[in-house]
Amino acid sequence: MSESAYERVKLARDKDRPTGLDYIRNIFKGFIEFHGDRRYADDPAIVGGIARLNGSPVTVIAIEKGHTAKERTYRNFGAPNPEGYRKALRLMKQAEKFGRPIICFIDTSGAFCGIGAEERGQGQAIAENLMEMSTLCVPVISILIGEGGSGGALALAVADRVWMLQNAVYSVISPEGCASILWKDLAKAETAAQSLKLTAEDAKSLGVIERILSEKEIGKKEFYDRIRTLLTEELEELEHDPDLVSNRYDRFRNIGTGAVIKE
């Protein structure tokens, strides 16, 4: 892993990377998309529905950035509004009702920072997902495929297993945001990226993720086949875990405890 942290950030943002829908279409069969949060609107930045993974029904949810300029505008560049998170939660509750595992693909610079987003409770929407996902009684696997931007990414990542693509990043704040707040200097984004420990290797050594997915042949059939196999194997294991929910609690409960000094 020779690239610097900031080079990883650029790779994670690369417009040519596969997006959420590419993963859904290539890993699963018979995807049926469902729309709307039943409260306000349908958010095109989050796509969700049901599909088959090796024949078994699963619920899939993905943050979608789009490929073309037109798509990217339509998808709000993958920055979800509160209704996107509420749609995701609705589909997760539906999955729980019908005993389907949930698989989330995450790729966002962050939850959208807009007037309407605030008026409709962006913070409340994320908070509710964090709370409700912690006790879903079906297996949840979340994969960070590009950018994992703060609370907007975490709102789909309170999962039993969290995986990251080799060049995905996961961070509490963008390196640019960090540099401008701490050092009032955008040029220090590289230092910030390094200091924030946002690469897949960093996340794994901090105990935040379980697995790093290789990007060998990314976007090709072999790449998606590999992820399909890993998902199938992991779900097999999770579906037989009688302590699924309490293990998920402990998973998050223990993160960061080593970073606290007790006097």
Partner 1 sequence: MAVMNFLKPKNQLEEGGRTSAPIQRDAGEPEKNCPNCHKDIALSRLWANDLVCPCGYHFRMKARQRIQMIADKGRFRELFSGMKADNPLNFPGYRDKIETVRAASGEREAVLCGTAMIGKQKCCLFVMESYFMMGSMGSAVGEKITLLFEYAIQYRLPVIGFTVSGGARMQEGLLSLMQMAKTSAAVKRHSDAGLLYIAVLTDPTTGGVTASFAMEADIILAEPGATVGFAGTRVIEQTTKKSLPKGFQQSEFVLEHGFIDSIIPRVSQKKYLTEILKMHDGRAI
Interface residues with partner 1 (CB under 8 A) are 111-115, 117-124, 126-128, 130-132, 134-135, 150-151, 154-155, 157-158, 170-173, 177-178, 181-182, 191, 195-198, 202-203, 206, 208, 248-249, 252-253, 255-263
User: Cα-flanking dihedrals φ and ψ of residue 33, to 5°?
Assistant: -85, 140
Smallest gap from Cβ 17 to partner 1, in A, equals: 21
Q: How buried is residue 162: exposed, middle or buried, by Cβ count under 10 Å (0-12/13-18/19+)?
A: buried
Listed residue (22, 242, 28, 63) closest to 157, CA to CA = 63
Q: Considering beta carbons, is residue 112 or 224 the nearer one to partner 1?
A: 112
**C-beta separation of 145 from 105 below 8 A:** yes
Q: How far apart are the first and last CA of the chain?
A: 38
Residue 71: CB atoms within 10 Å: 15
Q: Considering beta carbons, is residue 91 or 136 the nearer one to partner 1?
A: 136
Smallest gap from Cβ 47 to partner 1, in A, equals: 22
Q: Considering beta carbons, is residue 218 or 245 the nearer one to partner 1?
A: 245
Q: Tokens 């829908």 sit at which residue? A: 21
Smallest gap from Cβ 107 to partner 1, in A, equals: 16
Smallest gap from Cβ 258 to partner 1, in A, equals: 7
Q: Considering beta carbons, is residue 96 or 128 the nearer one to partner 1?
A: 128
